[in-house]
Copies of this chain bind each other. A is one copy, B any other.
Amino acid sequence: MRKKLTQRQLEILNFIEEFVEEYNYPPTYRQIGEKFNIASTFGVKRHIDALVKKGYLTTESNSSRSIAVKGQKRNGDCKENSTVSIPLIGRVAAGYPVLAEENIEGQFNIDSALLNNNTNLFGLKVRGDSMINSGIFDGDLVIVKSQNYCNNGDIIVALVEDESTLKRYVKKGRKTFLMPENPDFEPIDVTKNKNFHIVGKVIAVYRSFN
């Protein structure tokens, strides 16, 4: 295990990484000093020496711009084999297969390790707040496994009266409900509803904060 860094050393290490990222070559001592308002190159040098001693950097003595970050991963391998491409569905319309070409608005890639070996997936933008207590918000992207059955307790995409909806599928005694996870919404009893169809099971949510 490498030694701990001081706050200053951490900041400087960060700066060097960012600098290299941007320019493809490392900064000079003076450039580092400029960034942190360290007037003397000696002050900078001591930080660099400390970082070298602790094993985070390497330098070549008397050589300009020879700072190199140790143990930096080149983004070399991208194991593309493990990436899956998923269609993004615009809307779930009654009477059409979800994955019909007309419905596909795009395609996105995601690591299969995040999908628990599921197949037949599609992405869907969430509309509405009915599932906020499950951490599914308006605008989120849900990843859905296309299937016409599900287990008690699954969160599903369903068609009820030709309207698509996102709810939790719950069996209580002899009745079946689509339960919202938001006190402002009412459960939907679909026990005897002939116009109720399961479209798929939600296996993941993705939300990006702008």
Q: Which residue numbers of A lie inside 8 Å of B, CB to CB?
A: 1-2, 4-7, 10-11, 13-14, 17-18, 20-21, 23-26, 28, 56, 64-69, 71-83, 85, 87, 94-97, 99-102, 104, 108-111, 113-116, 119-120, 132, 135-137, 140-141, 146, 148, 154-155, 197, 202-210
Contacts and interface: CB of A to CB of B under 8 A. Distances in A.
A208 B75 contact: no
A32 B202 CA distance: 28
A100 B142 CA distance: 32
A128 to B, nearest CB: 14
> Closest 7 CB pairs between A and B?
A4-B95, A78-B78, A135-B135, A64-B64, A24-B68, A108-B111, A65-B65
Nearest to A137: B135
A12 to B, nearest CB: 11
B97 A5 contact: yes
Given A96-B2, A97-B14, A113-B108, A135 B21 contact: no
Contacts of A71: 100-101
A2 B114 contact: no
